[in-house]
Amino acid sequence: MGHIFCLSICAIDDVNLEKIDLSECKKLKSLPNLSKASKLKWANLTSCGSLLVVHSSVLSLNTLETLILDNWKKTQES
């Protein structure tokens, strides 16, 4: 997974998505709108060193129980 630059919107439009592990994706620059992933419970963004933008929908998901942000640099919310 270390070579992911951005996620395709269609890759995360799955309403049945419950977990996403993007740890160590050092080239990931943007995390798009996740509002359609209405069952997402767990997300791991550990050591995503190039991540600059996290869509505000991530924090708006009512189902999200765990968001792991270890070894994370400052990002901006879009």
The predicted-structure confidence for 5-61, as pLDDT tens digits, reads as follows: 555 544 565 678 899 898 888 888 888 788 888 899 999 989 988 888 888 888 899
- Under the banding of pLDDT at 50, 70 and 90, the label for residue 1 is very low
Query: Which has more confidence, 62 or 74?
Result: 62
Q: Please give the pLDDT value at position 64.
A: 94
Q: Please give the pLDDT value at position 75.
A: 52
Q: What is the pTM of this model?
A: 0.74
Supply the DSSP string of 9-60, one letter for each residue: GGGG--TT--EEE-TT-TT--EE---TT-TT--EEE-TT-TT--EE-THHHH
Q: Are 56 and 34 in contact (CB under 8 A)?
A: no
Domain positions in the chain are 1-12+19-73
